[in-house]
Amino acid sequence: MSKKRKLVILGDSAFAQIAYEYFTHDSEYEVVAFSVEEAFLKQNTLFGLPVVAFESLEKQFEPKEHSFFAALVYTNLNRLRTRLYRAAKEKGFAPASYISSRAFVWPNVEVGEHCFIFENNVVQPFVKLGTNVVLWSGNHIGHHSTIQDHCFVASHAVISGFVTVGQGCFVGVNATVANNVLIGKDCVIGAGALVMKDVAEDSIVQGAAGEARGNARRLNRVKDDL
């Protein structure tokens, strides 16, 4: 695949390394550098490419000529990835997205900016994916469902039809969400959870028991990041 656009990956940990592989071998982007915040700058190169301080990124790479992807997982309910996504946009860099050539995404699906969709995802008709959404490998996103901004869906989750997953949620491996369910913002749906009814915001649904615990855990919000 010909490389038409240059890309800086934010991060240098496992997701950043994986993103490098996918962008390099299955996209039009050429990865030219990695970037982390200066306090976390522990290495100067990765895969033969420079790792530069995020604070000075625009001085080394012209924003108008480079896109970025913040390859960070669901730390602090996706807030770290969200903060760096917003900061890079403020510097003038364009957000990149990746959709695997081995994912099934129906043509009328709406995909927001700065999304990453791994292989073997099935995204059915009339689905809406917000901004800054990660779908790891092998998920099923059912028809007419909406996954709002800044969410992370781990592998092999089943989200049925007419589901809404609120902003800032994490959906764990092998979780199942039944039809017509509303999950409020900032929720954690644990691995293997079965969700059969609506879930209030700031809740945790644990395991197969599917019990929601609400505001007892506030997930240590850092509102200044939002």
Rg of the Cα trace of the chain? 18
Query: What does pLDDT average to over the chain?
Result: 93
pLDDT tens column, 115-138: 999 999 999 999 999 999 999 999
Residues 88 and 171 in one domain: no
Which residues, other chains included, contact 145 with Cβ-Cβ below 8 Å and sequence gap of 6+?
124, 127, 128, 159, 160, 161, 162, 163, 164, 165
Tell which of 96, 127, 148 closes a domain.
Answer: 96
Query: Which regions in the chain score pLDDT beneath 50?
Result: 209-210, 214-226
Residues 35 and 63 in one domain: yes
Distance of alpha carbon 80 from alpha carbon 48, whole angstroms = 26
- Please check whether residue 190 lies inside any domain of the structure: yes
- Please check whether residue 217 lies inside any domain of the structure: no
The pTM of this model reads 0.91
State the pLDDT at residue 2. 80
State the pLDDT at residue 7. 98
State the pLDDT at residue 138. 98
State the pLDDT at residue 135. 98
Q: Which amino acid is at 5?
A: R
Residues 51 and 112 in one domain: no
CA atoms within 13 A on the CB side of 2: 1
Residue 45 belongs to domain spanning? 5-96
Residues 197 and 106 in one domain: yes
Evaluate whether 151 touches 169 at the Cβ level (below 8 Å): yes
Residues 65 and 123 in one domain: no
Residue 188 maps to which CATH number? Answer: 2.160.10.10
- Please check whether residue 225 lies inside any domain of the structure: no
State the pLDDT at residue 101. 98
Evaluate whether 149 touches 130 at the Cβ level (below 8 Å): yes
